[in-house]
A and B are shown apart, each in its own frame.
Chain A
Amino acid sequence: MSLVKPRKKTMPEIRNYTLNFGPQHPAAHGVLRLVLEMDGEVVERADPHIGLLHRGTEKLAESKPYNQSIGYMDRLDYVSMMCNEHGYVLAIEKLLGVEVPLRAQYIRVMFDEITRILNHLMWLGAHGLDIGAMTVFLYCFREREDLMDCYEAVSGARMHATYYRPGGVARDLPDRMPQYEASRFTSKSAAAKLNETRQGSMLDFIDDFTQRFPKYVDEYETLLTDNRIWKQRTVGIGVVSPERALQLGFTGPMLRGSGIEWDLRKKQPYEVYDQVDFDIPVGTNGDSYDRYLVRVEEMRQSNRIIKQCVDWLRANEGPVLTEDHKIAPPRRGDMKGDMESLIHHFKLFTEGFCLPEGEAYAAVEHPKGEFGCFLVSDGANKPYRLKVRAPGFPHLASLDEMARGHMLSDVVALIGTQDIVFGEIDR
């Protein structure tokens, strides 16, 4: 008989615990706080706490004339600025019944697609970084720089452009693409290399970009598409069936990744999307890998659309802002000599314009999904109520369902695949 008693466990084995993730975690894509209930390393429940970036954009918009809130829209989803503006401006135009000149429509479509590429590059880089692919991030930011230069050339700001206006766009495309100067940060030879493609007009530069870009996308794909680690981390992660995707309010690449062919650019075309030729990529399995493939293909399609817009814009001149000076300011030169223009200018910048009483909902195919603006007007020069339908909001709401049963490290992959940006979710 042994004298040694069987060892009693002094501590019960605790497997369930609650984990706080964020809000200051690099993989939280901004300020997401996640309260995770874990069973070992498996997620049992994920409760996202949002609102840490809530600025009350909609309430602010209620206190400003319509044309002063366009800049707030840039700051919603701060990686796809012009698409946000587009949704807001469309809602105003719908209530006003104002016609947008054809050239402005093409410019808008071109910049929507530039924005889509900007957004998807940011997403691809960050998603790669989350899962451990460092190189893609550097590649993506190399191309983003060129597109940001387009933003800057046309609006003066690299990101928050305020370029779309009710009735058109702020101004026509510049005749010369701005060039780099040698400085402490850019050597003479580096500047000369950057300027090689910047010798002509802005359209020449974009044209050249569309020639180069498919090869860049090939580079990203070489790094990721058949990469074993990438596939291990994304295939079968966060599978959403088509039925659930609809119930969860998915739009954009999230919905198309689940196999539902729905794109507002095709189904409810706005501007000149029915004039340009492009395809809608659709996934089959509804997992993170399919959503990756969908977004990469979207970049190629956007590139096609940009090319078509460049060709059209080269061939067709015309106004880019409506001539209705009750809505859009008259030219500065006119204002100096013409009394009527001076009055229009004064009224527009002191009081703004009034919208007819009514309600409007305008939606655009934003890079992340459906970006909608619900506008209630009581006939005043400020919105009575503006509700922004942010695509990321229902996506993040589904994180609980998507993360259940996955490992903790997959939560990071899921946040990546949802393309979360807090500017739009918290508003």
Chain B
Amino acid sequence: MATREQNMLEALQAAFPDNASIQHSLDLIVMDVTPADLIAVATELHDNPALSFKQLSDLAGVDYATYGHDEWATDTENTASFSRAVNAASTGSLTFNTGLELPASDRPRFLVAYHVLSLDHNVRLRLRCAAPDDAMPVVPSVIPVWNNANWYEREAFDLFGILFDGHPDLRRILTDYGFIGHPFRKDFPLIGNVEMRYDSVKERVVYEPVSIEPRVLVPRVIREDSRYVAGETPKKDDA
């Protein structure tokens, strides 16, 4: 860890003594925050000269619905070979109107990750804010603090259905006009739901259920790897 990051870590711990989640990870500082505290924390991060996080680099929604679930069990023996992966329910194998049964989980499904940058101190910070309600994820809008959050929040709303309380213009941004659903959610099929073509009889563009066959070429696999012990940086492999 560089000294500037060490200094920032201490400054952050001094500014937010109640927040136990502040830690250094890879080459930036990570901090968790609840939606109720988000605006106060963001304002402090922006205005406090010891922190001075003046720029919002990025805002990303994350859907944790299938986190840690693979398509190919690697810890037990199985005679079904490749077909066990092909038939597994996953985003890649969904078709029109077949919902994915989401595994039960105790962690909140939606999370918003803000990457902010302090130009004065040359440090990055990842601020993570989980939306408590899975059915209606709401997080306050940070536009008053970082103005460029506007489009980023529209994007997270469009792709994940995360609502941003206080956003002045929460419209869809990347998907088509009149699009239904939130495509980056894990239960949204990779091939989509509808396809469109020009109908020469009706003389207009029509939408129809997708006709492509979904397929998974390489199954999703999670390998137990002794080199990657949780929390440690990977060690050199001698093989």
Q: Does A382 contact B (CB under 8 A)?
A: yes
| Interface segment out of the listed A191-199, A222-230, A297-305, A352-360 | A352-360
Q: Mark A119-147, 1 if CB is under 8 A from B, else 0.
A: 00000000000000000000000000000
Residue from the list B150, B190, B234 in contact with A96, Cβ < 8 A: B234
A64 and B148 contacting across the interface, CB-CB below 8 Å: no
In the complex where A51-B176, A94-B26, A372-B57 touch, is A394 in contact with B148 (Cβ < 8 A)? yes
B230 close to A (CB within 8 Å): yes
From A354, A360, A398, B222 is in contact (CB under 8 Å) with A354
Q: Are A361 and B184 in contact (CB under 8 A)?
A: no
Q: Mark B189-227, 1 if CB is under 8 A from A, else 0.
A: 010000000000000000000000000111011110101
Among candidates B28, B68, B190, residue contacting A379 with C-beta atoms closer than 8 Å: B68
Q: Is the CB of B62 within 8 A of A356?
A: no
Are B60 and A385 in contact, with the CB atoms below 8 A? yes
* B34-64 contact mask (Cβ, 8 Å, vs A): 1 or 0: 0000000000000000000011111010110
Are the C-beta atoms of B57 and A268 separated by less than 8 Å? no
Chain A residues within an 8 Å CB radius of B228: 354-357, 379
Rounded to whole Å, the gap between the CB of A258 and the closest CB of chain B is 12
Task: Evaluate contact between B115 and A63: CB separation under 8 angstroms.
Answer: no
Residues of A within 8 A of B225 (CB): 354, 356, 379
B237 touches A376 (CB 8 A): no
- Contact check, B67 vs A378: say whether CB atoms are below 8 A apart: yes
The CA of A406 and the CA of B152, in the complex, are separated in Å by: 26
Q: Are B147 and A248 in contact (CB under 8 A)?
A: yes
- 0/1 string, A259-273, CB within 8 A of B gives 1: 010100001100000
The stretch from B10-18, B119-127, B130-138 touching chain A is B119-127
List, in ascending order, chain A residues with CB within 8 A of B126's CB. 359, 361
Asked, given contacts A358-B25, A380-B222, whether A397 binds B150 with beta carbons under 8 Å apart, the answer is: yes
CB distance from B99 to the nearest CB of A (A): 17
Quick one: closest B residue to A68, CB to CB? B218
Cβ of B233: which chain A residues have Cβ within 8 Å of it?
97
Specify which chain A residues have a CB less than 8 angstroms from the CB of B58 in the assembled complex: 361, 372, 374, 387, 389
**Is B161's beta carbon under 8 Å from chain A?**
no
Could you tell me the dominant secondary structure of chain B's interface residues? loop
Q: Is A82 an interface residue (CB 8 A)?
A: no
Residues from chain A with Cβ under 8 Å of B216 in the complex: 63
- Chain A residues with Cβ below 8 Å from B151 are 393-394, 397
User: Out of A51, A246, A267, A376, which one reaches B55, CB within 8 Å?
Assistant: A246
Please name all residues of chain A whose beta carbon is closer than 8 Å to the beta carbon of B70 when the two chains form the complex: 380
The A-contacting residues of B in range 84-101, CB under 8 angstroms, are 91-92
A249-B122 in contact (CB<8A): no
Closest chain B residue, CB of each to CB of A324: B237
- Whether A54 is near chain B, meaning CB under 8 Å from some CB there, is yes
Chain B residue nearest to A390 (CB atoms) is B58
Range class of the A interface residue count? 35 or more
Chain A residues, Cβ within 8 Å of B183:
56, 59
Cβ 8 A contact of A351, one of B28, B56, B150, B218? B218
User: Least Cβ distance of B48 to chain A in Å?
Assistant: 16
Cβ-defined contact, B115 with A389, below 8 A: yes
| Minimum CB–CB distance for A254 against chain B, Å | 12
Cβ of A268 and Cβ of B122 under 8 Å apart?
yes
The distance from the CB of B210 to the nearest CB of chain A, in whole angstroms, is 14
Known contacts A62-B91, A357-B230: A352-B218 contact under CB 8 Å = yes
CB atoms of A363 and B68 under 8 A apart = no
Taking CB atoms, residues of chain B closer than 8 Å to A372 are 57-58, 115
Q: Is the CB of B55 within 8 A of A59?
A: no
A340 to B173, CA, bound (A): 49
**Cβ of A210 under 8 Å from chain B:** no
**Residues of A contacting B124 in the complex (Cβ-Cβ under 8 angstroms):** 361
- B27: interface (CB < 8 Å): yes
Contact code string B179-191 (vs A, CB < 8 Å = 1, else 0): 0000110000010
Interface hub of A246, A350, A376, A380 (most chain B Cβ within 10 A): A380
12 contacts between A and B (CB under 8 A): A51-B173, A51-B176, A96-B234, A354-B221, A354-B223, A358-B25, A361-B28, A361-B124, A380-B220, A381-B223, A385-B60, A389-B58
A-B complex: 10 closest residue pairs judged by Cβ atoms: A356-B228, A249-B148, A387-B60, A51-B174, A389-B58, A97-B234, A397-B151, A247-B147, A54-B174, A394-B148
* Other A-B pairs beyond A64-B218, A247-B55, A372-B115, 11, CB < 8 Å: A50-B174, A59-B190, A246-B119, A247-B147, A249-B146, A260-B119, A350-B218, A354-B222, A354-B228, A372-B58, A389-B57
